[in-house]
Structure 1
């Protein structure tokens, strides 16, 4: 597959996290990542924020991660002007020009290394929901038709009363992805967003369309993308359900590095200790092993090795 020898884990689903140069903390990519490979990490997700001042450093790190044999997934840009709204109408050219550099960057790597997932957000705004759905479907169709080695997964987003946001409910995602009629299209099930939306049961057909998963916790004061230390997201239940159905996609620990650093500092730990503890927990869950944090009894179970670097949610 491509120019590099890819590490292939001996398990069905793939474990990873959202990677950025700031995680390195002065270390080389190998010094930071190879110990995580021993914990089961085989895939790294990068946000394609190519207009950021950090992008040259990010792009260089992407190359190093490929040389180390890690699989990649990408998250299409979604902040600021990035919004597929209008793609099915007169704004198509404008929106396409905005996204194309990032999508083409991912496509070049996919052409060399093999098909890969790119997570996208649906259209949002104050226009009628039906129009935004058409924009979203047209945007996904563009990726599918023009970039044959990219596999777009539309993300489950957090519902907001003040804005129409395509992808903020699971039934709508099923309809959109099913309507595309492509096995390369799928759903990115963000379990943190799922919890913020009320953890409603998955509708018929949802699980079989999940191609990618994001996992993170929510702090007691509602801060999203926190490390898995609070127990406010029932990720174990959903991951075990996916594993039972034969899920073969990636499970990405999508946490905010600043939050990890803050919680680590409060405990006198290194951010890497929190990260490793979270990854050990996810490995156990996706391996159908027993172990984790018992929120009712206030203790860890399943062995000390599984939770090194973790702490009691009550201590926060």
Structure 2
């Protein structure tokens, strides 16, 4: 298991509505101790990445070349995610735009050698709420073309476990729902990204669902919280039983990477970002050593 982090560890700038680019983020992640990365492309939706430009393929080539120079591997990616409810877009133009950036994100994932692209499942709400059949049918409608493209690009699709919020259920928040969704596609290049923080919000015991999910888990989002809000804390700053989590991952034979999805640097002054990232890497190495 390799320690990894999302590229957005160095994305946001305190007090500014602009983002640090991928290449600078990669260099700083490498300097902090991360050789493996998750290419976070969620900021494509508000149009704040290099991949929103017309020359997005050339931008991906530059990132690939820089990764080779730095000795960095991209093992996961996080394409832009749809609003959780389905249907959800206000206009056809908005939906077409989202479909285009999703298509780009999958192609870019393939160009950079990503093994697993993580997608958020959607929740059906037009014909029936809390219906497994409706939810699975909606996800097939949304993701059929994405999965077909991903197969051509040699990228696996991992559905992320969700967490209920605002007193509303979200499909994919439970082990049984995710297993049913993955099984419904009958594709070996599909699996689950287990978000440990989401699991802590949904389950009183964050270890048990990992064991129940077992070999379905192909990717991880690693972060801590206190069981309520999605805080995206560094491990050991929340209430998660990390010793138990690491033991469970070892028991199920998890073969992927240990990928941070933390907000440590989101509001940090730039002068403190690098030392904060090194602190996070030290904690990550401690945890990975347990496996």
Name the TM-score class by shorter chain: 0.7 to 0.9
State the TM-score, normalized to the length of structure 1. 0.69
Number of aligned residue pairs: give it: 264
Higher Cα Rg: structure 1 or 2?
1
Q: Aligned ranges for residues 155-170 of structure 1 at < 5 Å? A: 155-160=160-165, 162-170=167-175
Larger helix fraction of residues: 2
Q: Give 1:183's match in structure 2, choosing from 185, 188, 208.
A: 188
Q: Which residue number corresponds to residue 49 of structure 1?
A: 43
Mapped partners of 2:61, 2:241: distance in 1:
31
Q: Which residue number corresponds to residue 28 of structure 2?
A: 32
Mapped partners of 2:148, 2:230: distance in 1:
37
Q: Which residue number corresponds to residue 197 of structure 1?
A: 202
1:158 CA displacement: 1.2
Mapped partners of 1:199, 1:221: distance in 2:
11
Q: Which residue number corresponds to residue 79 of structure 2?
A: 76
Q: Which residue number corresponds to residue 132 of structure 1?
A: 135
Mapped partners of 1:237, 1:257: distance in 2:
23
State the TM-score, normalized to the length of structure 2. 0.74
Tell me, yes or no, if the aligned pair for 1:124 and 1:163 is still in contact at 8 Å: no
What's the secondary structure of 2:232's corresponding residue?
Answer: coil
Tell me, yes or no, if the aligned pair for 1:19 and 1:46 is still in contact at 8 Å: yes
Q: Aligned ranges for residues 81-230 of structure 1 at < 5 Å? A: 82-83=83-84, 85-86=86-87, 97-114=96-113, 116-124=115-123, 126-127=125-126, 128=128, 129-130=130-131, 131-148=134-151, 149-160=154-165, 162-200=167-205, 201-202=208-209, 206-218=213-225, 222=229, 224-230=231-237
Given the superposition, is the C-alpha separation of residues 204 and 33 from structure 1 closer, same or farther in structure 2, using an over 3 Å criterion? closer
Q: Which residue number corresponds to residue 8 of structure 1?
A: none
1:13-70 CA distances to partner (integer Å, 9 max, x unpaired)?
Answer: 232112135369799456413323xx35312331243242421288758843652232
Mapped partners of 1:150, 1:173: distance in 2:
19
Mapped partners of 1:253, 1:207: distance in 2:
20
| Structure number with higher relative contact order (C-alpha < 8 Å, ≥ 6 residues apart) | 2
Mapped partners of 1:137, 1:287: distance in 2:
39
1:76 CA displacement: 2.5
Given the superposition, is the C-alpha separation of residues 28 and 173 from structure 1 closer, same or farther in structure 2, using an over 3 Å criterion? closer
Mapped partners of 2:275, 2:25: distance in 1:
17
Mapped partners of 2:61, 2:272: distance in 1:
24
Is 1:18 aligned to residue 6 of structure 2?
Answer: yes
Tell me, yes or no, if the aligned pair for 1:216 and 1:253 is still in contact at 8 Å: yes
1:157-213 CA distances to partner (integer Å, 9 max, x unpaired)?
Answer: 112363331111111111111222111111111111111112442287511000111
Mapped partners of 1:219, 1:260: distance in 2:
20
Tell me, yes or no, if the aligned pair for 2:175 and 2:213 is still in contact at 8 Å: yes
Mapped partners of 1:239, 1:112: distance in 2:
31
Consecutive unaligned residues of structure 2, counting only runs of 5 or more, are 14-19
Q: Give 1:241's match in structure 2, choosing from 240, 245, 248.
A: 248
Given the superposition, is the C-alpha separation of residues 107 and 186 from structure 1 closer, same or farther in structure 2, using an over 3 Å criterion? same
